[in-house]
């Protein structure tokens, strides 16, 4: 586990797939053909926690959906790339748009994916994570498999690990506990 925490401590950008990672992978259509997905509130808290400490987040997904834009905005995701089948090309294009002063390379990224289209991107980054119900080939190429499935808090597990790696986890938790919260003055 210490090796994973150390590796997570190098992450400057968390990149997430949607179907099977931020959602449970099911695509539900109503009688009018309107698509819906379910997202985890815990994942949202985790993604927001990364922003608090200057760690960027991105979504790269093969499908396009207005609800992904809405959920990304609610969570404060920095970059959203939709409708891209080749996740590696999308990742490289995304990295090329990030301010060069931030010095973010693929080695500085964590990538969470669950199916074959995610593998090349996962092989390129410094930290690859997946969920227990991912395709076996994805699991075989991942640094970490979460205990929770996609859409049920799996992203939160990775966010917590990244915070631990950066030494921010206890401070983050202190914001939610009585008598332990640190003010900005305490952090200086």
pTM of the full structure? 0.91
d(CA 160, CA 117): 25
CB 45 within 8 A of CB 1: no
Q: Which residue has the tokens 């983050």?
A: 172
Residue environment code for 77-93, b if the CB has 16+ CB neighbours within 10 A, otherwise e: bbbbbbebeebbebbee
* Tens-binned pLDDT, residue by residue, of the chain (188 aa): 789 999 999 999 999 999 999 999 888 888 998 888 899 999 999 999 999 999 999 999 999 989 999 999 999 999 999 999 999 999 999 999 999 999 999 999 999 999 999 999 999 999 999 999 999 999 999 999 999 999 999 999 999 999 999 999 999 999 999 865 454 445 43
Helices (H), the chain: 2-8, 41-52, 66-75, 87-97, 119-124, 136-140, 154-165, 169-174, 184-187
Q: State both tokens at 27.
A: 């695509």
């Amino acid at each position: 586990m210490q090796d994973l925490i150390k590796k997570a401590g190098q992450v400057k950008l968390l990149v997430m797939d949607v179907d099977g990672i931020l959602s449970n992978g099911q695509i539900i259509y109503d009688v009018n053909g309107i698509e819906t997905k379910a997202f985890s509130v815990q994942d949202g808290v985790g993604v927001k926690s990364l922003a608090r400490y200057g760690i960027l987040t991105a979504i790269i997904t093969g499908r396009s959906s207005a609800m992904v834009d809405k959920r990304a905005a609610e969570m404060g995701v920095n970059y959203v790339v939709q409708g891209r089948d080749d996740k590696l090309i999308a990742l490289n294009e995304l990295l090329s748009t990030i301010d060069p002063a931030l010095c973010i390379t693929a080695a500085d990224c964590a990538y969470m994916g669950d199916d074959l289209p995610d593998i090349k991107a996962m092989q390129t980054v410094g930290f690859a994570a997946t969920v227990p119900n991912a395709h076996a080939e994805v699991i075989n190429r991942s640094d970490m498999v979460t205990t929770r499935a996609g859409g049920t808090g799996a992203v939160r597990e990775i966010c917590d690990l990244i915070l631990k790696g950066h030494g921010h986890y206890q401070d983050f938790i202190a914001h939610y506990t009585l008598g332990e919260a640190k003010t900005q003055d305490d952090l200086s």
